Amino acid sequence: MGTTTAPAGEVTVDVLFVGAGPVGLFGAYYAGFRGLTAALVDPLPEAGGQVQAIYPEKNIYDIAGLPAVQGQQLIRNLLEQAKPFGPRFLLSQQASDIREVADGWRVTTSSGVVVNTRAVIVTSGVGSVTPRPLPAGEELLGRGLCYFVPQLEVFDGKDVVVVGGGDSALDWALAAVPRARSVTLVHHRKQFRAHEHSVAQVKDSPCHLVLDATVTAVRGNDSVESVDVTVRGEDGARELKAQVVVAALGFLMDLGPIAGWGLEMEGRAIRVDTRMRTNLPRVYAAGDAATFPGKVKLIAVGFGEVALAVNNAAVELNPDATLAPGHSSDLVPASEPLAPEGNSAQPRSKEVAGWRS
């Protein structure tokens, strides 16, 4: 995705984002917009978080102003948006240890990089995710059985069985329908946990539903050839032809070292106030990592939360700064040409580093 990992040693920035998913990437842009330098640390080898790692080719429909955008395109856009400000990326490593110092925090990563930062914003989402395993067929993982589908072309012309009843399962089934020879969705209940709109779409599609059922065997030699499905109330098992099996049974979440930082937690999330502040000084949280009364876990909500976190951090780091960030439309990124003389789009501010006026 065009990101690079900073070399080992020490990095000094105004803000460290712990998590380089969509919310962290938008936060890096916003930090630059407020004249703050930023670094992002993430255990994945590339920026983008779960969107890039799990569903890069799936469309996302609830981003304001974008009727539909592929996951990987959203990440590319966010990287391009932050690029003028030169954020540092510390990838394939975790933020392991955090210690308060005179002017902020000293964070050490699992690769030994030391980050001296004036503020920390946790944008790690739910942390690292491990897919819940399918009870059968683990030996065929990567040979037809999968938990994620990085490229939708694996469905082309195949018989596909999707196992699960949540949003991911229905999304994979809907993505497979126009490409696969056949699609069957197997769920252990009669009711779905997914969004009602997705359920209606699946029921109206050619996808075959096998409900109140479990996959008891995945068969094949070098690759998946079929699955055995046991339906409650039926004698014996049904054999379904399949070359691709997507096990979308949910994930096990792990915040990793962050859980030992002394943050006030509520379940697996970090409790924040209306300024996105945690109980630790100059440590904020935004996106799925944060919780507060009335919290809704959406990427769109996370974008707003991280903007709140950055703007409040900007004031805390510089008491002379204003909380209101001003209008981005008054500024032109340094990579863009200036508007013709006399054009009202000419920028009027010289306060934001990385932008020109």
How far is Cα 277 from Cα 280, in angstroms, rounded to an integer?
Answer: 8
Please check the confidence at residue 300 and state whether its pLDDT lies above 60: yes
Please check the confidence at residue 337 and state whether its pLDDT lies above 90: no
CB atoms within 10 A of CB 118: 20
Please check the confidence at residue 6 and state whether its pLDDT lies above 70: no
What is the band of 117 on the pLDDT scale with cuts at 50, 70, 90? very high
- pLDDT at position 8 is 57
- pLDDT at position 30 is 96
Question: Could you tell me what percent of the chain has a pLDDT over 70?
Answer: 90
- pLDDT at position 126 is 78
Name the burial class of residue 92, with classes exposed (0-12), middle (13-18) and buried (19+) by CB atoms within 10 angstroms of its CB.
middle
Q: H/E element holding 313?
A: helix 299-317
Amino acid at site 223: S
Q: What is the mean pLDDT of the chain?
A: 88
Residue with tokens 């949540």: 166
Q: Which residues are annotated as a binding site?
A: 42, 50, 55, 95, 288, 329
Residues 281-297: what's their mean pLDDT?
97
Asked whether the beta carbons of 306 and 30 are under 8 A apart, the reply is yes
pTM value > 0.85: no
| pLDDT tens figures, 156-178 | 999 999 999 998 899 899 999 99
Beta bridge partners of 330: none
Q: Give the β-pairing of 290-291 and 269-271.
A: parallel
Beta bridge partners of 247: 163
Three-state DSSP at 36 gives coil
- pLDDT at position 347 is 33
Name which of 203, 149, 208, 201 is nearest 183 in CA terms: 208
| pLDDT tens figures, 150-160 | 788 999 999 99
Question: Could you tell me what percent of the chain has a pLDDT over 90?
Answer: 70
Q: Which residues are annotated as a binding site for FAD?
A: 42, 50, 55, 95, 288, 329
- pLDDT at position 190 is 94
- Fold of the CATH domain 10-129+252-325: FAD/NAD(P)-binding domain (3.50.50)
- Characterise 136 by phi-psi region: left (phi > 0), alpha (psi -120 to 50), beta (else): beta
Return all residues near 88 (Cβ < 8 A) that are at least 6 apart. Answer: 6, 11, 13, 38, 39, 40
Asked whether the beta carbons of 261 and 280 are under 8 A apart, the reply is yes
Return all residues near 73 (Cβ < 8 A) that are at least 6 apart. Answer: none
- pLDDT at position 356 is 39
Question: At the top level of CATH, which class does the domain 133-249 belong to?
Answer: alpha beta
Residues 296-324: what's their mean pLDDT?
95
Q: Hey, do 10-129+252-325 and 133-249 end up sharing a CATH topology, with the first three levels equal?
A: yes
CB atoms within 10 A of CB 62: 12
Name which of 341, 329, 337 is nearest 352 in CA terms: 329
Return all residues near 230 (Cβ < 8 A) that are at least 6 apart. Answer: 213, 214, 216, 237, 238
What is the band of 57 on the pLDDT scale with cuts at 50, 70, 90? confident
| pLDDT tens figures, 60-78 | 889 999 999 999 999 999 9
Residues 131-158: what's their mean pLDDT?
90
166 half-sphere exposure, CB direction, 13 A CA radius: 8
| Domain ranges, ordered by start, for the chain | 10-129+252-325, 133-249
How far is Cα 241 from Cα 260, in angstroms, rounded to an integer?
Answer: 47
